[in-house]
Structure 1
Amino acid sequence: MAVTDLPILGMLRTRMQWHQARQKVIAENVANADLPGFKPRDLVAPRFDRATGAVSGQGGVGMAATEAGHIVPAGAEAPVGETRRAKGFEVRPSGNGVNLEEEMMKAGDNQADYQLAASLYQKSLDALKIAVGKR
């Protein structure tokens, strides 16, 4: 087993690749901001259900709300009156739904999250080097 095959490093690599792909989609949204009828797109974030890197839908550990103030687990019914609607996007008369301010906010958040994942990846490799005695 190679050092780079560790589950935590695999999850961080997957996360960084997702951020790269998302940055491309956001850039396409901005580039097509004036194209009539264009609908903005976004990528669904990968979810890891277990510490070993299992992607959602392949099993994992269940969650339960043990107190009324806790967040409702995925797949469970939310208490009545606590559901929230996703904020809709505005559509111009040309049919274009790209909001440049929202896209720029997404791009900034995406960049910060990518830098965090890259930093964690580098720190994990550094910790492994220290443990092996190469540093």
Structure 2
Amino acid sequence: MAISDLTVMRAIREKLKFHEQRQTVLADNVAHSTTPGHRGKDLKAPDFFRIAATGGPTGSATPVRPALTNAGHLPGRVLSTGRFKDETVAGYEVTPDGNAVVLEEQMMKIAENQMDFQMATSLYQRSVGILKTAIGKR
């Protein structure tokens, strides 16, 4: 089994791909911030808890469940994914020429996206480090 076949690694890879594509969309918004009639776009984030729990975006693999290795251990539970509600917020300003891109909003989204990407990259690196330690490669 390759490291890339692990469910957690697959979910982190999907998150990295999402942030890469979102960065492209947000950069396009900034590039068209003076184009008349342009409306800003954004990507809806996939449910990464579901991806991690089911093994992929389509849910093809078996869910990740805690292992009960001792009768004295408490049974674990699978993460619940329905706790948060998506909310769509339109831009607050529209210029007289119909452009609805606010540079301040886009720059904040870009900074947030960059931080999330760096967090996912760090998590991926640490997961690989843990796996290397587990198999004795350090």
Secondary structure (helix, strand or coil) at the match of 2:90 reads coil
Rounded to whole Å, the distance in 1 between the matches of 2:134 and 2:79 is 33
Rounded to whole Å, the distance in 1 between the matches of 2:81 and 2:117 is 30
Higher RCO (Cα < 8 Å, 6 or more apart): 1
Secondary structure (helix, strand or coil) at the match of 2:28 reads helix
CA shift at 1:15, angstroms?
0.3
1:52 aligned to 2:54? yes
Rounded to whole Å, the distance in 1 between the matches of 2:103 and 2:79 is 38
After superposition, the Cα gap between the structure-2 partners of 1:56 and 1:42, relative to the gap in structure 1 and judged at 3 Å, is farther
Which runs of no fewer than 5 residues in structure 2 stay unpaired? Answer: 64-77
Which runs of no fewer than 5 residues in structure 1 stay unpaired? Answer: 66-70, 75-84
Task: Give the structure 1 partner of residue 4 of structure 2.
Answer: 4
* 2:90 maps to which of 81, 88, 97: 88
After superposition, the Cα gap between the structure-2 partners of 1:6 and 1:86, relative to the gap in structure 1 and judged at 3 Å, is closer
CA shift at 1:121, angstroms?
0.2
Task: Give the structure 2 partner of residue 102 of structure 1.
Answer: 105
After TM superposition, the score normalised by the length of structure 2 is: 0.75
> Alignment identity in percent?
45
CA shift at 1:52, angstroms?
3.3
Higher fraction of helix: 2
User: How far does the alpha carbon of each residue in 1:36-95 deviate from its partner, in whole angstroms, 9 at most, with x for none?
Assistant: 01010001101132523343788x879599xxxxx5x66xxxxxxxxxx75431211111
Rounded to whole Å, the distance in 2 between the matches of 1:88 and 1:130 is 47
Rounded to whole Å, the distance in 2 between the matches of 1:131 and 1:92 is 57
Instruction: Single out whichever of 102-111 and 89-98 deviates more from structure 2.
Output: 89-98
Secondary structure (helix, strand or coil) at the match of 1:51 reads helix
Give structure 1 regions of 4+ aligned residues with deviation exceeding 2 angstroms. Answer: 52-58, 60-65, 85-88
Task: Give the structure 1 partner of residue 13 of structure 2.
Answer: 13
